[in-house]
Structure 1
């Protein structure tokens, strides 16, 4: 028997719970690009630099030419970005940069302070540029909030997929984006990440199952709630049906079997609860209001090391593949197959 609560999901925000701060599911049907990685035609119904239209099918967000989020600061938490479809160009105030997408996962620990830009280049000029990402804010405990920031890529080639039905593997699978499922494990994030310590049980999975199949989620300690996001479809558990779009947050003293009653598209988030106060305002997540005020003052004074790039919305040339430049611009890395 599970003990839990179902939260409705409205719009892009997934109402994730402690230790997560927020999760946003962005789905955009971008048109073809204009050769400069901007849309071939700009919307007529947008506020330049602040476009979150819910009726057009795609958004410019805070981008003024290329969609995305130009340079902005963070402190006190970390982001985990799953670029399921399309590309993201990353630049930060530590001199790191790169392009990732189509299944890659990026971890960025803001720690004591980091600026970054996340732009969504429309590289295809002869066809649409579909785009889907999930960005997650994972809290850091007070003792880790002022660690040195870090940025790292976990390429899709490094992320294991667990086949849940050998006869139809493409329709019945679970992909390990972070942590582990059964014997399959994703790469471990850096030591300054809350997800580095296995005793924090930070796991992020996504997958699909056909109607009639069973999704088994293993037991976790009581202080590690399971958060099941049903993007589409329906499941049944303990005689109750849970329909998309919704988030089930629960604890259980045993493994839990969910029966798929309608073809399922899902994500799962787990993590040990951080039993501390949270004060989140704007781009900062601290434990008190005073600490957030201090973060704003520090950023105004230091710009967290300053912005190293000519533009606040930098992009990478369209013909570049996936890569990352780490360690303050000193080390270039590419996916295992490149």
Structure 2
């Protein structure tokens, strides 16, 4: 089994604010010109302390079409409402998977009790592209609590792998996906080891959320760094140099044209124009402020 080669270890780009509640580092597509299809975008919110506040911070009502948003909480709590009638709160370890598909309005903000208390906040949001045949499908929402997540316990108290999507050591994640995707949280204790095997043509990366790791017995990466792999080889081995949390993402690329404008991710410019018109005409539904 050939080792998957590390292409680059990338440090977090300069942060920017999304609304007033999310300070994020955009690793791709704007931070680094890497191909992570079917993952189109990754905003990483490194750990930050928010002060207590009565009025929750967040980002107001905005539309999406043509893809999915996957929000993974590590610290803090995020509340969500959308125009399909879905709402929920994710706490540390939880995941919210929203399929915008043909069009949705939503808003995201700090959960009320967290906002009143303040404290550490850390999260990841991914935009997962949809194959063309699913872009105009029905919007959907999947809420995953950490307690219910499929998991693999690493022997000898090495830690655990939480399987959000895909299959690890025969254990299947709960998320329904529209193309082959592997998405895990590897929570390793100091000295814990994990191995992964992904098809050679899958695009693969590791986001070090906490701690530090050795990869393939060759390179070290610390918190807030992203390890981007080449499409050569299949095997990845990681060892935690201290208690660590690593987001593992790998997926089969979607080999279709991309047209993107703001919150719309389609295949052609004509579809982008249609999305703008549909949004302006109120066809994405209604959501109260």
Per the normalisation by structure 1, the TM-score is 0.71
Structure 1 contact 235–262 (Cα < 8 Å) conserved: no
Check conservation: 1:14, 1:247, Cα contact below 8 A.
no
Question: Which whole-Å CA distance do the structure 2 matches of 1:28 and 1:173 have between them?
Answer: 25
Q: Kindly indicate whether the alpha-carbon contact (under 8 Å) linking 1:78 and 1:108 is maintained by their aligned counterparts in 2.
A: yes
2:227 is aligned to 247
Other-structure match for 2:43? 24
Most deviating of 108-117 and 251-260: 251-260
Shift of the alpha carbon at 1:114? 0.5
Q: Distance in 1 between matches of 2:241 and 2:147?
A: 31
From 96, 119, 123, give the equivalent of 2:86: 96
Offset of 1:91 from its aligned partner?
A: 1.1
What do residues 7-57 of structure 1 show as CA deviations (whole Å, max 9, x unaligned)?
Answer: 5132422337111011112233122343xxx2xxxxxxxxxxxxxxxxxxx
In the superposition, relative to structure 1, how do residues 120 and 255 fare at CA in structure 2: closer, same or farther (>3 Å)? same
Counterpart residue number, 2:110: 120
Query: What residue ranges of structure 2 are gaps of 5+ in the alignment?
Result: 16-24, 29-33
Change in 2 beyond 3 A, CA 1:108/1:215: same
> Conserved in 1, the CA contact under 8 Å of 2:98 and 2:141?
yes
Corresponding residue for 2:193? 214
Larger strand share, 1 or 2: 2
1:275 counterpart = 2:255: yes
C-alpha distance in 1 between matches for 2:192 and 2:88: 39
After the TM superposition, which of the residue ranges 247-256 and 220-229 deviates more from structure 2? Answer: 247-256
Q: 1:13 to 1:165 in 2, by over 3 A?
A: farther
Is the 2:71–2:97 Cα contact (8 Å) retained in structure 1?
yes
Asked if the contact 1:206–1:268 (Cα under 8 Å) also holds between the matched residues in 2, the reply is yes
Aligned counterpart for 2:27 among listed residues 5, 14, 29: 14
Aligned twin of 1:182: 169
Three-state SS of the structure 1 residue aligned to 2:147 is helix
- Asked if the contact 2:188–2:244 (Cα under 8 Å) also holds between the matched residues in 1, the reply is yes
Q: For 2:142, what is the secondary structure of its paired residue?
A: strand
Whole-angstrom distance in 2 between the partners of 1:122 and 1:95 = 19
Q: CA deviation at 1:150?
A: 0.9
Other structure's SS at 1:302 match? coil
- The equivalent of 2:97 in structure 1 is 107
Pairwise mapping of residues 112-151 of structure 1 onto structure 2 (< 5 A)?
112-124=102-114, 127-151=117-141
Greater Cα radius of gyration, structure 1 or 2:
1
Residue 229 (structure 1) aligned to one of 194, 197, 207: 207
Post-superposition CA distance 1:49-98 (Å, at most 9, x none):
xxxxxxxxxxxxxxxxx211111000000111112332222111112223
Pairs aligned (count):
267
Report the CA distance shift for 1:254/1:150 in structure 2 as closer, same or farther (over 3 A): closer
**2:61 alignment partner in structure 1:** 71
For residue 332 of structure 1, what is the aligned residue in structure 2? none
Q: Is the 8 A contact 2:77 2:114 kept in 1?
A: no
- Structure 1: state its 5+ residue gaps: 39-65, 195-199, 313-338
TM-score (norm 2): 0.82
